[in-house]
Amino acid sequence: MIKPKRQVAYIEDIDRKGSRVLKLDGLEIALFRLSGGEVLAVENKCPHKGGALSEGMVCGDKVHCPLHDWRISLHTGQVQEPDHGCVPTYEVEVDPVSGAVYLMI
């Protein structure tokens, strides 16, 4: 099944190693731009205590939850051991010409 894509931002709207929060269809999604320019999207809620991941620090391809420092992969949504859990991830596409950021949802 092909997921529809929705334009949600432009690449310049998201600082490197920063985030932007979107509310779509009742979901709160955090877009992250890694230091290399890649844009990734996860649900903006830590599986531990619901902390806003968009407020966490990005290190490499992981975000540290601001509440209890859980480390979560922005590629897979998987929490780093010894903690456990997972957050939903969303496919992102960036148009290389216009810089438009699309979320497949």
- Over residues 35-62, the pLDDT tens digits come to 999 999 999 999 998 899 999 999 999 9
The CA distance from 33 to 26, in Å, is 23
* Under 8 Å between Cβ of 73 and 61: yes
- Over residues 79-105, the pLDDT tens digits come to 999 999 999 999 999 999 999 999 998
Report the topology of domain 5-104.
Answer: Rieske Iron-sulfur Protein (2.102.10)
Global pTM value: 0.91
Phi/psi of residue 88, nearest 5 degrees = -65, 140
Domain boundaries, the chain: 5-104
